[in-house]
Every structure is written in structure tokens, then in C-alpha cells.
Structure 1
Amino acid sequence: MYWSAPIERCDEYGQCGPNGNCNPYVVNDIDCTCLPGFEPKSPTDWYLRDGTGGCLRRKGVLSMCGNGEGFVKVERVKIPDSSKASFDMNLDLKACEQECLRNCSCMAYSSSDEGSGCVTWQGDLMDIRTLPDAGQNLYVRVDAIVLAQYAKKPNYSLSNKGKVAISLVSVLLLFLVFSLVVWWIRRKRKGKRRQNAHLFGQSTGSAYLGHSSRKTDVDETIMNSDLPFFDLTTIAAATNNFSVENKLGTGGFGSVYKGLLSNGNEIAVKRLSKNSGQGTEEFKNEVMLIAKLQHRNLVRILGCCVQDEEKMLIYEYLPNKSLDFFIFNESHRADLNWTRRFEIICGITRGILYLHQDSRLRIIHRDLKASNVLLDASMNPKIADFGMARIFRGDQSEANTNRVVGTYGYMSPEYAMRGRFSVKSDVYSFGVLLLEIITGRKNRVYYHEESPDSNLVEHVWNLWREGNALEVVDSSLGELYPINEVLRCIQIALLCVQESATDRPTMSVVLAMLGNDATLPSPRQPAFLLQRSGDSSTADGANSVNNVTCTAVEAR
């Protein structure tokens, strides 16, 4: 795309409705504000950042016809819609003010050009917006009370001294409340920093992310996480004191429990086992990392609990468990027709693409598999478990590690054998996962009697070369699937599991291939990580495993 319009929300006509001003340069606030003397027509819509209903005069407005009213200047704005305005090019700005003041129906005035000429408006003021470096001054008619609030001298038009006193008391009360809020926020942040220091230490961010103690932008982003902290008593009450009935599952890190907060929200609590030798580093990594990731296809973290010897992560609760519960289960596999499976495939693709390309940090997941894809109530996929994830700098394409972690069957060959990982490592794992979704079989399950050690990737590759790839399609789908679309997904999967990382497509290319019918390249030989027994070489070079041993492999 070379050019598009409108560039900002405020460029749209009437974005903030009648008597509203659209200001996109207000930090952490709604774009729409009401003109002086006005208030939102619908406070509910205004709170939801919908200002199209505009603004009305405030309740209790005094008469604005010869009753001490005046004008408040609104600076640097695009003046209102002038299709119904009145013009007089012979009046200067001062004369324009007097002219508008004499006309009780006049709601605002402005100069027509560089201080000369007069433009006046009657009725609602429409399509106003603040400009950064240009714009004109608009003078809005207000009653005496509002005028006094904007005047430098509060007694400009207030004859009642009591009103001045009330205004001063109101300002003092607001200042006191503001001071108390600031004190409370600072106190809470100090407590959070103490918890972070206890959990991570002073240099955890730089030590884990980089090979240098120098602070980087990535370090600062992670260590300044705003992840909420939950009290242990709150989590214990939500999970019925971590009862067996609330237990959802167990992993190398510990157990996961279902919980119900006092406000009715359901949560999933990932509790790090006290005796687990695995999980402490992963817990730190996930706390620092996932709080910065926001995408509809990533599991949302709600907070964490670090108290006494307990370390827990609190996630949104997803009622349909994980993807492997469906595709590897005979009784539940039929619940996923092809349309639903294809939607899950596309959702996973978008989630990984966000991690690799669109998020603020470039993330390599390193443990993408069916059990780490959770399903919400609408069967939308959400990628979970970022304990193994690693962060790349913007200019970094790959990295090496001596600690190979992950799950056999999903590891790319360059990662499993040499500890080298990149975005293409996740692409390989995605290709294996795609084949599992299509076939309903695990990659580590063996097939033919003729080749008892063949894994799913090799099995599909052999059938693809023979032109019989549809034989691997999950039998629970019956004949109710689009043949061309399924064959296309199988071919994309084989492109993703090619032995050479450079031959594999990126996730942006994968998403494009899933979304159109363009001709796909022919896949090259995949990587087969399961060694055949008794013989390290096979015909056609089908086995890519060499005799190099892995260093400190920790399979999950």
C-alpha cells in the first residue's frame, strides 16, 4: 500500500459529534473532549470511547443572553463545519466578538484568515479537531460561571464570593486526593519491585537475554513489566486450597488448577512444584515475557503470585483444554471437522507470525506442539507455555545454545543436533503440528511393518512422492473435506519440515499460502529425526540423522 486516508481517527467527519473536539495528541486519554461549557450526551458511550453522540450544554447553565456570558478560546483547531456559518470580511476579531455577543443565537466565532474577517456559528458546532502545528483559534460562547472557571481572575464575572470559596476548596480537595493516589501507587510499586528483586535478582533480565551485562531496550521493556500480583490467600480460596477436584493437569514444572475468583472470573493457575528441578528459569522467563504479548491467538496471562515458597502464574481459563485432547483421542477427534481444523491451523499461524514479526519483541517459542495449543469456548486456538521461549534482537536471525530443550518429534534437526535455533525452528515444529492436525496421529507413532521405525513426517513424505498423500487424512473426517485444500495443507506442512532451514518458508509466507490458491513450490526432503534401528543409512538418503550426539538434551 502506497497511501491511504484517513490517516487518523480524527480525520473522519464528526468523529466526536456535535460540540465535541477530537484531539489525537492527548496521551492515555480518549480522543474526544467536549467544548467548554458542554458535557457528554451519553456518558456510557463516552466511557467506552465512542464520542459520536457528541456533547450537550451542562445542566444548570445560566441564561446566555445579556447575563454576563463571554467566550472561551480553544486554540489550534480546525474550525467547525462552515456550511451554515455567517461571514463578514469587513470585521476584525474584536468587532466579531461584539457582533456575536449581541446575537443571542451565536454560539461561537473565529477569524476567517490570519485575524481578519469574521465567521460566526449558530446551533451545534460540528467536526472540530485539534491540529499539532496549525489551526485557528475558536471562541466558544459560555455562561458566566464557566467563563469564571476559565478566566485568570476567578472574580471576573462572579459576584457571589461564596462561589469563589467553593472553587478554592474544591481545588484543595482534588489536590489532596491526587496526593493520596500518588502515594498509594508509589507504595505499591515499591512492594512490586521488592518481589521482582526477590524472584529475579538485579541482573536477571540482562543475564538471561544477552551475552552482555549492558542494559538494552529489550531488558528495560521486560523488567518494567506491569504484571499484577495476586495474594496467595486469594489463589488458595479460588482453587479450593488446590484441591484434587480442581486439578487440570501436571507437567515437568508442576500442576495446573482451575480457579474461581470472588468476582466470578474463571482462571487457570500454573503452580511451580517446590521439588521440581525444572521450571524455575522457565517461570522467570514466562513472567518477564508473556505479559508483553497481546494477541487473540496467544494465551492471556492475568498475573502471578510469588509469596513464601510459592511461585504461580495465573492465566485466563480455557474450557476446551488443549488441541491434543481432541486430535489424539478417538472419541473426541470427530468433534473437529475439516472447517474447524482449518480455522485452528490459520489461528496458530497468525499467533506464531505475531511472535516472529508483529510483536514488540521477536520471540522464538521453541516448544510448539499440540499440548501447548489451548482452545477457548469457541474452539479458537491460543498458543501457551512460553517457558522455553527466547527473545531475539531486531537484527538477530539465529542463536546457539548448549541447553537443548523441547519435545522430540517437534524439534528441527539443526536445533536438536547442533543447538542452533531461529524462527525456522518454530516453522519446522508448525509443520509437524500441521501434519498431526490433518492425520490425527502423533509424529512419534510408528507405521508400516516394512519400516517399523518410520515417523509421521517420513510416512507422509513417502506417500506424497507416490501420489497417495490422501491416505494419511484422519479417517474420522470421512469424505467430508475439500480434497484440494487438504492436499495444499499437506504440501505446506512438507515445505515447513524440509531439512534445510533456509528452504523452509517464513510464517508470513505460510499464512499467504493458506489464504490463496497460488501454485506452491515442490517440497524437498524432510528431516527424519528418528534413527532406524540397526542401520544409520537408508535408500534415497531418507534418514538425515548423523552420529553427532546432543549436549544436555532435556526433552519434555
Structure 2
Amino acid sequence: MNAIQWSMITALLIFLLYLPSCISIESITPNQTIKDGEVLVSSRKLFALGFFSPGNSGRRYVGVWYNKVPEQTIVWVANRDNPVNDSSGLLVIEGDGGLVIYGKDGKLPLWSANVTLSSPKNSMAKLLDTGNFVLFENGRSLWEGFDYPSNTMLPFMKIGLNRRSGLNRFLTSWKSQDDPGTGNFSFRIDPDGFPQLVLYSGQAPRWRAGSWIGHRWSGIPEMTRNFIFNTSFVNNQDELSVMTGIKDDSIFSRMVLDESGIIERSMWQDQDHRWNKYWHAPAELCDDYGKCGPNSNCDPYNADEFECTCLPGFEPKLLRAWYLRDGSDGCVRKKGASVCKNGEGFVKVSPLKAPDSSTAHVNLTMGPKECEEECIRNCSCMAYSSAGDPQERNGCVTWYGDLMDTRTYTNVNQDLYVRVDSIELGKERQNPFPFGVITTSIYLEDSPSRTDPDGSRFKSDIPFFDLSTISTATKNFSDSNKLGEGGFGPVYKGVLSSGTEIAVKRLSKNSGQGNEEFKNEVVLIAKLQHRNLVRILGYCVQDEEKMLIYEYLPNKSLDSFIFNEQKRTFLDWTRRLEIIFGIARGILYLHQDSRLRIIHRDLKASNVLLDYDMNPKLADFGMARIFGANQIEANTNRVVGTYGYMSPEYAMEGLFSVKSDVYSFGVLLLEIVTGRKNTGYYSDNPDSNLVGHVWDLWKEGRALEIVDPSLGESYPICEVLRCIQIALLCVEEYSNDRPTMSKVVSLLGNDAALPSPRKPGFLLKRSNYTNGDPSTSTRDANSINYVTCSIVEAR
């Protein structure tokens, strides 16, 4: 071997000597250490443990991260408040301290697990496939990282209190993205009163997830039983804790308390190489703890009015502040009210999240009648509610003193019974707003389309109006009060004696909407609460009259703007895009976020109403259908809806699904962009409807020619073209090719690349009409609705 070869070998050995270690091992024993650069990996290589530097920091910490996620995501940190300043760190097992981290000097530990090993030689530290870092001695667990969470809750990690040892497990935020030190926010179970899960800023509550009511936290209506997660809650003499398991450990899911005080759940999407955040809190105005002060209710969906309302029997403490929309001082008992053995009773407030229960009393053996009697006997008792699942109405919770942090939620059927004096009790029995003790229940016949996903029958408790009240409010249904007329009858504006403006849908005696459709609409809308859905205030059934009472929306329907030459000039592109987003969010709520999966089946411009601020609200649920939780598609022998908005599979075969509404949304989106009806006339393409005309222009690269000329040149071309392309994806012929509404909302909200649309269905319109808005139809008419052309194109 010559001198040159020896020099090359020598240089290689020197390079390898100074190269940082990048080896991975499965466990460590007392004669092993983990140096900076070495990694401990779980047996199935799901998680890894080693030294890391967060963000732009140069400091080193021992942490656990996902081994198979390319974006390093830290889920647990050991020495979060005691970093190593350089790459000299060591993690070792010692008899005194158990697990210990040393820095450069190697004398005093920077961090330890703070346990004493009686038999150090028989100890071992191992990273499990759950992400839990565990110290074993003689085969038993002596210490585990899951008992000391940082800012992340993983599946199978417990949050809560070990009542025997005093160990309290909770999340704490990082100080910043560059510093995993203990931050100002914490997420923990408050064991006092009726235990509840609370997010704190320092020592003050920031957001309250509420108490456990059988299958979820009362303040997280989004929690549902599903095939991915399984949440268990334990409350006994030994333990108070919650744990969420995952049935498929190939799915990476986490809940993180970030440095800004937001708690969020996310899943790793391999296809997109990113974390998909699907829930977070606080998210709404009323999520802020005590937003409206004591003895009040916060309703974030009351877009047209002040979100704060005093509970029954109470009035604003500072009336001037209340008028200025500052409800922080809350409400006090009305002057002169006597609620102690003077004919008092209870008013039911529903649906809501019950008040802060940290000082409440709970008895899990009582039923609702015993609970009421218990509360009425004690003059200090302010309210009561069930302690468990609202459907089972088991257990009893009673409140004493101020009722704090009550709020309205969507799809929450938790009831609160508030103590009021005899005078208030009498008023509430006659007054339909905003709460009522005497309500009328409507039961529907057993039918798959008229039941909850669990098969139970609907019951709707909403205010009943007598005919004389409605007649007076509408000036005896005067033509001057008439707002318009749809396929099922006229709609009138009315003003109640309280000054509340209402819209009254009076069903025509000859309309196609009979008792079934009427009951359907009453029950559906009563169960739905979202800022982009119209709010129902009550109903009336008397003699031969059937009426629905809605909130009054002054700007009427969307079609009165976009199809009006003068009025659509008020809709600039920014406003149109906000309307598009609002409609999409409303449909998404119906399809995915509400407790019921609902197919609207009659989405069109005239069924989108506009409030004072031009916010869109979906209306007219007479044709809506409810799907079970796992139901994908249904068939009907009675096709109903509006020509021009129906999907091909629905109009031709009676098949409908969430994708039927997606098709209708696509048509509606094109109408908003163009200012034209889908059934309009196009001189250069007289046999085509709007969808077909846009498709032809799109193929030729001339799509901007169809944009509403009233927009002038003041619109962002890329945004408009993106909306047109999304609309074309929504109206594709085959339902499986169309995106879901969750995908549509995502596509509208980002700049990600879009797939090329395939040829839509229903490119040709019926020959027996050329314009106008055809009326609602039945199956016979729909069977010859359109001709559909099917040509498969590459995507």
C-alpha cells in the first residue's frame, strides 16, 4: 500500500472519529448513555427520542417526536425548563434520580426523573410505540413520561388526578416556538364541585370544556362516537382522569396547547405532508370564559343582535353598558323578585352548555323529579340540571350563587332549569322569547328520514304562536307586508308586540308541502344552529293554517341581488366571495358538523337569505333529508327540487347524497360569479345552460368572458378563475368525482393546485323553457329534465 493510500485511510478515520453519532437503539441500561446525536426508537419505529433544538434556538433538549413524520413534531420534552447550552448533553440512568440529563461539566444534573432506584442494575428505559418514555425496574414501571405531559396530549395519555398519589397530569403551553419552557397556559381537570375540563391563562379560566356528560364534555358538542377514537372518563375514589384511545395506531393524532393559548386537535395527512387541524378552542366569541358576566347566556349565532342575554328572571346589572354591547358585568335578579317559598318555579333554558360547576353540588343517584324537589327546597339553589347524558337524564347537579359562563352551542341538548319568581314564571308561560317552560312537542312518524342517527324519534321543543298573534303581527296578512312567494306559499313580514321583526312562511293550502314536509322543516331547523343557517323562532298550526316563523332578514334573498341589473352592482367581488364562503360553510355544517347529517335537496339562490350585513343564511328545509351517521346515499320515488340545480343522478334516478348538494352549490357558485341564471339564454350557444356555456368557454380559455360585467375590471382574476374551476369540479357528471363540501371549503380558502374538471352533467337545457326560475318539480317532470352527455376526459 503506497503513501497516498495510507494518507486517504488516515483522513477517513479522522473524519469518522469526529462525525457526530447518528445511531439508533431500542432501550438504554445503566451501562449505556444517549449522547447528543444518538436516537432511541420505539420497537415499531413510530416514535423517536433524542436531543433537539426548537425553532431558531441553539439550546438542546431531550424530547420525543414522530419518527415517521418528515416534519419533526415534538410531543414531549424532558428538560423543558433546563436546557443544555451546547451539544455536550448526556441522558443516563442513575440510582439517585433514575433518569438524569447532564450538561458539559457532568457534575450537577440539569434534570432528573426524581426517583430512586433500589436495584439500578436491573433497570431499563424504553420508548414505547405510544410515545411514552418509561423507566422500568425489575420489570415493573417505576416512572413514565406520560405522567408529566408538556404541551401535547397523545392517544392513551391520561389527563387528570391520581387521588391516591396526588399526581396531577395536565398540559402546559410552551413559552414560544423557540422555547419549550413552561408557558402561561394550562389545560387540566378541575376536581372541585362537578369536575370539568378547563383551559387556564395563569390561574384564570380562559375557556371551559365543561363537565363529562356520558360520552363527551358538555362544552365540546363536536365530540361524537366514531370509528377512530374511543374516549374514556374515570371518576372514582382512586382516580379522576380522561383518556382518548385510537383504534388504528397508523393514524397519527395529537392535541396541542400552543403558546397563544389555543387547544387544537390535528391528524397527520401523508398525502399532503402536513398536519390537518380539524378542531380548536377557543374558536368563537362566546368561548371566552364569562364573556357576558354572571347570570347571562352568550349566543354567538345571534348575528343580528347582541350576543349576551340575561337568563330568565334576571336583568342587566348596568343597563347603559348593556346598550353599548358590553355584557361583562352580567345580570342581577330583577327588582322585587321573591324566589323563596312564594310560588316560584323553574324555566328551562336549552340548548346550552351548563354554567361553571366548580362550586355546584352533584348527586349521581337522583332522577330529574327528585333533583327539582331538592333545588326548590333550598332557597339558595339557583338552578339544576342532569349530571349525565341528557337523553338518559340521570344524576342531579344544583347551582348556588351566580351562574357563570353559560352559552348556546349548536346541537347540544343539555337543559338548564333556572329558578324564577311566580311573576316571571307566568310571563314565561305566555312569552315565546327567548326561553320557555311551556312548549309544544311534535313527534314524527317512524321513518328513516325522520329519525336521529341512533334511530330515535324526533322531539322538538320550540315556541308555539297562536293564529291571532301572527295575524296581528302581519296586519292580517296584508299584501303590503308580503315579502314574496315560493312554491309552497307566501312569506310575510311581521312585527310582534315586543317589537321583534319576524318573517312568516304561510303554507298554501294547495301546496305540495303537507304535514310531513311541514313537520320536517320545524324539527330540522329547530335542531340546527349556525351563523349561515336561518333561525326559526316558532310555528303555528291552527284550523287549516300551517306557518313557520323565522328571524326577519331585511335584504331578502340572494336572487333578488345577483339577477337584478341595478342591485347586483352593490355586490363587489369581496362581498360575493364572502357570500360564497358563507354558503359553503352552511352546507358543510349540514353535511358534516351538525349532529344530524342533512341533505338540503333544494339549494338555489332564492333559498339563500341575506341579513343586515349581507351575510348569507340557508333557508327552506322543507325538502331536506336526514342521513344516519354512516349513511352515504339514498333513493327516493319522489324527486323534488328546482330545475337547473338538480344533480344528474338525482333527477334521473332519484339517487341523492351530499354530492347532490355539492352539484347545486356548483351551479349557485357560477350564478354568483356571472350574475346569470343557469336557465338563461346564450345567443352563441342557445341550446346550452349556464353550466354548459361556462364549460365551453373554459375549454377555450375564455372563462373570464362570462364574469358579471358589473364587476368591471376591479376583481382579482386568479380568484375568480379559481372559483369557476371549483364550480366546474362541483358539477361533474358522476357524484364520486365531485369534491366533498369540506374539500370545497378548503379549496376556496387556499392556493393549492386544483385538478382539471371533467365534463359536467346536464349541459343541455330543456326545450320547453329558456329563462326564468322554474318551479319546484316532482318526479314525473324531472324524468325528462335534461339530456346528459358523458365523455370521459383525462384528469
TM range (shorter): 0.5 to 0.7
1:46 aligns with 2:294: yes
Q: Secondary structure at the match of 1:354?
A: helix
1:407 aligns with 2:647: no
Distance 1:234 1:440 in 2: 39
Count of aligned positions: 399
- Whichever residue aligns with residue 630 of structure 2, its letter is D
Deviations 1:103-151 (A, max 9, x none): xxxxxxxxxxxxxxxxxxxxxxxx9957999xxxxxxxxxxxxxxx99x
- Whichever residue aligns with residue 206 of structure 1, its letter is D
Q: 1:249 aligns with which of 463, 484, 493?
A: 484
Q: Secondary structure at the match of 2:695?
A: helix
Q: 1:441 to 1:239 in 2, by over 3 A?
A: same
Q: What displacement does 1:341 show?
A: 0.2
1:468 aligns with 2:468: no
Q: 1:480 aligns with which of 714, 722, 727?
A: 714
The answer to whether the 8 A contact 1:491-1:523 is kept is: yes
Q: 1:358 to 1:455 in 2, by over 3 A?
A: same
Q: What displacement does 1:13 show?
A: 3.7
Q: What displacement does 1:11 show?
A: 3.6
Q: 1:307 to 1:433 in 2, by over 3 A?
A: same
Distance 1:407 1:247 in 2: 23
The answer to whether the 8 A contact 1:423-1:506 is kept is: yes
Q: What displacement does 1:282 show?
A: 2.2
1:6 matched residue in structure 2: 187
2:743 matched residue in structure 1: 509
Q: 1:53 to 1:275 in 2, by over 3 A?
A: closer
The answer to whether the 8 A contact 1:427-1:497 is kept is: yes
Highest relative contact order (Cα 8 Å, sep 6+), 1 or 2? 1
The answer to whether the 8 A contact 1:299-1:316 is kept is: yes
Deviations 1:56-82 (A, max 9, x none): xxxxxxxxxxxxxxxxxxxxxxxxxxx
Q: 2:529 aligns with which of 268, 284, 294?
A: 294
Deviations 1:196-237 (A, max 9, x none): 3xxx6xxx3413626xxxx76555462x21111112111111
Q: 2:599 aligns with which of 364, 373, 382?
A: 364
Deviations 1:357-386 (A, max 9, x none): 000100000000000000000000000000
The answer to whether the 8 A contact 1:303-1:315 is kept is: yes
1:440 aligns with 2:672: no
What does 1:321-360 correspond to in 2, within 5 Å? 321-360=556-595
Q: Secondary structure at the match of 1:470?
A: helix
Q: 1:389 aligns with which of 624, 638, 644?
A: 624
Distance 1:23 1:516 in 2: 30
1:453 matched residue in structure 2: 687
1:207 aligns with 2:442: no
Q: What displacement does 1:507 show?
A: 0.4
Bigger proportion of residues as helix: 1
Distance 2:712 2:475 in 1: 44
1:498 matched residue in structure 2: 732
Q: 1:128 to 1:518 in 2, by over 3 A?
A: same
Distance 1:176 1:334 in 2: 51
Q: 1:532 to 1:288 in 2, by over 3 A?
A: closer
The answer to whether the 8 A contact 1:321-1:374 is kept is: yes
Q: What displacement does 1:254 show?
A: 1.2
Q: 1:495 to 1:333 in 2, by over 3 A?
A: same
Distance 1:13 1:52 in 2: 20
Q: 1:175 to 1:319 in 2, by over 3 A?
A: closer
Q: 1:532 to 1:49 in 2, by over 3 A?
A: closer
1:228 matched residue in structure 2: 463
Which structure 2 residue ranges, 5 or more long, are not aligned?
A: 1-72, 74-151, 154-170, 172-185, 189-196, 220-289, 299-326, 331-355, 363-378, 381-417, 430-435, 769-777, 786-795
2:656 matched residue in structure 1: 421
Q: What displacement does 1:16 show?
A: 6.3
Deviations 1:28-85 (A, max 9, x none): 999xxxxxxxxxxx9982123699989xxxxxxxxxxxxxxxxxxxxxxxxxxxxxxx
What does 1:53-72 correspond to in 2, within 5 Å? none
Q: What displacement does 1:259 show?
A: 0.3
Q: 1:304 to 1:277 in 2, by over 3 A?
A: same
Q: What displacement does 1:278 show?
A: 3.8
Q: 1:514 to 1:217 in 2, by over 3 A?
A: closer
Distance 2:620 2:357 in 1: 48
The answer to whether the 8 A contact 1:418-1:550 is kept is: no
1:15 matched residue in structure 2: 204
Distance 1:349 1:401 in 2: 25
The answer to whether the 8 A contact 2:492-2:503 is kept is: yes
Q: 1:277 to 1:46 in 2, by over 3 A?
A: closer
Q: 1:342 to 1:176 in 2, by over 3 A?
A: closer
The answer to whether the 8 A contact 1:14-1:52 is kept is: no
Normalising by structure 2, we get a TM-score of 0.46
Q: What displacement does 1:446 show?
A: 2.4
Deviations 1:485-528 (A, max 9, x none): 00000000000001111110000000110111111000011112
Q: What displacement does 1:191 show?
A: 7.5
1:271 matched residue in structure 2: 506
Aligned CA-pair RMSD: 3.9
2:539 matched residue in structure 1: 304
Q: What displacement does 1:253 show?
A: 1.2
Q: Secondary structure at the match of 2:532?
A: coil
Deviations 1:234-256 (A, max 9, x none): 11111111111101111221110
- Whichever residue aligns with residue 504 of structure 1, its letter is R
Distance 2:526 2:642 in 1: 24
Distance 2:688 2:610 in 1: 30
Q: 1:504 to 1:241 in 2, by over 3 A?
A: same
Q: Secondary structure at the match of 2:462?
A: coil
Bigger proportion of residues as strand: 2
1:72 matched residue in structure 2: none
The answer to whether the 8 A contact 1:403-1:553 is kept is: no
The answer to whether the 8 A contact 1:271-1:312 is kept is: yes
Distance 1:246 1:351 in 2: 28
Distance 1:491 1:410 in 2: 17
1:157 matched residue in structure 2: none
Q: Secondary structure at the match of 1:45?
A: coil
The answer to whether the 8 A contact 1:24-1:130 is kept is: no
